[in-house]
Structure 1
Amino acid sequence: MVPNLGSAILLIAVLSAPGRAEIRQPVSAEAVEGAELNLTCSHASISNENVFWYRQFPNRAPQYIVSGYQGLFNSSDPEGALHIPKDRKSSALALSRARLADAAVYYCALSDTV
């Protein structure tokens, strides 16, 4: 029996506001269905902002996934975790088992903590 080698392509876009810290994300990422997939976001000039991740399916509004300031934060849908290192210059949303149903546009955004 040949295993199913289908892949889930997860598109990534950038969301940033004028005058705010610059946010950079890769244009796209893909993984074999069932494998871990890390979606990264660079925000080198961050100060006191929280990091938020959203995803948007075609013809739907963006959906909140997870947010945090520093450390590790779990997400239930999609199943995974947000990791923000101590220097807070980047973040990574790790999808533990990418599925075709996870294919969407993923946004990284910043918001003041005050």
Structure 2
Amino acid sequence: GAEGTAMLGRRSGGMRRARGAGLAALAAVLLVASGRAQVQQEPRLETTEGTSVCINCSHPGKQLGYYILFYRQLPGREPQFLALITRGSKAVPAIAGQLSVSEDGRSSSLCLERPWRGDAAVYYCALGPRAEEPGLRPGTNRRGRGRAGPGAQRR
């Protein structure tokens, strides 16, 4: 089969379908967690299908006891919780990936070992004070339940 290029882009740019077989878009966005703690991600990354890629997240203001959380939002769906971590590294089976945190806790990486077109999504990084699986309101940068912003699908 033809090998394609996968790109990570800003959420506001939406998903793009590139020319050629097997091309997909993967996206990373900037996300600010509740409170004063902020996280930052690269606005765009590219990889070819089957070639590993890491989504790096910077969180220099992370407080002791806070968790680093990663979500993925597939096109037309609500955000899906992937994993949380405070230190070290762990496998993320849902995406055949690895989540790791730097020794000083100021950055983390979500690595997709063999991404394919089904991994095309917006990937979010966030900080949270609890060890529970939190919800993320679609269309916002806040945790919790609620309705998405304008243009959201209703159920």
TM-score, shorter chain, exceeding 0.5:
yes
Residue correspondence of structure 1 range 1-114 to structure 2 within 5 A: 4-9=2-7, 10-48=26-64, 49-113=66-130
From the two aligned structures, give the one with the greater strand fraction. Answer: 1
Superposed displacement of residue 97, structure 1: 0.3
Are the aligned partners of 1:8 and 1:102 in contact in 2 as well (CA < 8 Å)? Answer: no
Are the aligned partners of 1:70 and 1:86 in contact in 2 as well (CA < 8 Å)? Answer: yes
| Residues in 1 aligned to 2:58 and 2:31: alpha-carbon distance in whole angstroms | 12
| Residues in 1 aligned to 2:130 and 2:119: alpha-carbon distance in whole angstroms | 29
* RMSD across aligned positions (CA): 1.5
Superposed displacement of residue 18, structure 1: 4.6
TM-score for both structures, normalised by structure 1: 0.91
Superposed displacement of residue 19, structure 1: 2.8
Superposed displacement of residue 11, structure 1: 0.8
The total of aligned residue pairs comes to 112
| Residues in 2 aligned to 1:107 and 1:17: alpha-carbon distance in whole angstroms | 10
Relative contact order (C-alpha < 8 Å, sep 6+): which is higher?
Answer: 1
